[in-house]
Amino acid sequence: MTDRSPSEFWAQRQGLRSRPLAEAPAPDLRQERCSWTSPGSAQEPVAMKSNEFPTRTLYASRYCSDDRRRTDVFELLANSSGARRGRLHTGHGIVETPAFMPVGTAASVKAMDPGIVEELGARQIVCNTYHLYLRPGHRLIRELGGLHRFMGWSGSILTDSGGYQVFSHRSLLQLSDEGALFRSHIDGSRHLLTPELSVEIQRDLGSDIAMVLDECPPYPCSEEQAQSAVARTTDWAWRSKAAFEALAESGNESQFLFAIVQGSVYRNERLRSLEDLLKLDLPGYAIGGLSVGEPPELMLRTLEWLVPEMAVSKPRYLMGVGRPIDILESVARGVDLFDCVLPTRLGRNGAAYTLEGRLNIKNSRFKRDEAPLEPFCDCSTCQRFSRAYLRHLFMSKEILAAILLTTHNLFFYLRLMKRVRAAIEEGCFSRFYEDLVPRLAEPHGN
């Protein structure tokens, strides 16, 4: 690490304070270093072998013989030590993968102007069908020109099916083969969410990627429960596909529908779910039902069973995951897409991610700390504000605290993904991984 104290480092940073963010040159990680070196490390980059691609048979698939490198929605560019570098082609631009998608639950990435989210490097966000259906309503959003226009976001949008929220809000009244009957958490009204309705809502919202309605069982659940959820998920996926195709003539031809693999942590159920869903030949496949309370090792073991069986040519999206360490571990196992509320939620709660551990700005040791949240961070928060000021804002319940901490946390996640992509391109992912794992492992300091 650096031999400078945080305050010396901060003093050096003062000169950068007046530089507008827009004038800062975009970092070209490939030019910066051929291979990953730790921030502040005196270690010299070592020559790495050039791109390891192509190894098209890396993921020999039992169920899917499709080993194309390019489909309408996804292009596989490179791989390194199991991690994949790809490109998602959506109706609202290209998303470089592995990618992290900030969550904009109610058509808003909380505390963030969408222009800033884009400036931070996000190209795709996730919005929640459940929330937008209940308020303000999908028909109103369609009437106002669709979700992109409504919320002023020009990048790509993925909408979930609404199912996860129905289950997690404890508002579920009755689950049947027809759909999920639930009570609105806003006004208590009753609604039946069916696969067909979910597709219709997402079509009205005009998202770039829509998800099928699935049954997400809790953790722990019995193998019988997992089995029944897999069967229902498959049935609902076929109904979703039929509804999606029936609506195909109503415009937004660039919308893609992704399937969701269930099966909890049971190997047979996961593989059966995947095998069933691959028959639908949808353009992308998500892994649902993880990060729902199971130990992280179990989640990773499940990925180790499942991911090698997934289609090489199609994007793999691990839903609702997660902590930076989970993302890194999952990228290493071949996952392409991630979303999680953690960087925004923790930002609002006064926590900041750094490569030295997670920092709780409420801690009294930051009262006189003039250092930025994270040394070597180029985000606009770290360029301009001290920990002491951020702590003051947070303790005074100033809205600006949430804005500035969320900005840093999103920057941290998006920078991590950018470095992940560069490391895969350069064929040095394993070295990057070895260096980052101990830094990202939790529990962090405070």
Q: Which residue ranges make up the site for Zn ion (CB under 5 A)?
A: 377, 379, 381-382, 408
Q: Which position among 204, 336, 339, 369 bears the catalytic label?
A: 339
Output the smallest distance, CB 121 to Zn ion, in A.
13
Of 166 and 377, which CB lies nearer to Zn ion in the complex structure?
A: 377
Q: Residue 226 and residue 222: Cα distance in Å, rounded?
A: 6
End-to-end CA distance of the chain: 19
* Among 282, 295, 285, residue whose Cα is nearest residue 322: 295
Cβ contacts of residue 186 below 8 Å, gap of 6+? 134, 135
For the bound state, the minimum distance from the C-beta of residue 379 to Zn ion, rounded and expressed in Å, comes to 3
Per the annotation, the verdict on 336 as an active-site residue is no
Q: Which is nearer to Zn ion, 226 or 379 (CB)?
A: 379
CB burial of residue 169 (10 Å; 0-12, 13-18, 19+): middle
Catalytic site residue from 160, 204, 214, 276 = 160
Give the chain's length: 446
Residue 22 has which token pair?
């827009």
Tell me the closest approach of the beta carbon of residue 345 to Zn ion, in angstroms.
Answer: 17
CA distance 251 to 189: 31
Whole-Å CA distances, 213 to 164, 229, 231: 9, 12, 13
Q: Is 28 a catalytic residue?
A: no
**Cβ proximity to Zn ion, 377 vs 423, nearer residue:** 377
Give the nearer residue to Zn ion in terms of CB position, either 87 or 345: 345
Q: Are 369 and 6 in contact (CB under 8 A)?
A: yes
If the CB atoms of residues 234 and 344 are measured against Zn ion, the closer one turns out to be 344
Q: Which of 398, 403, 356, 346 shows the shortest CA–CA distance to 377?
A: 356
**Residues known to be catalytic:** 160, 339
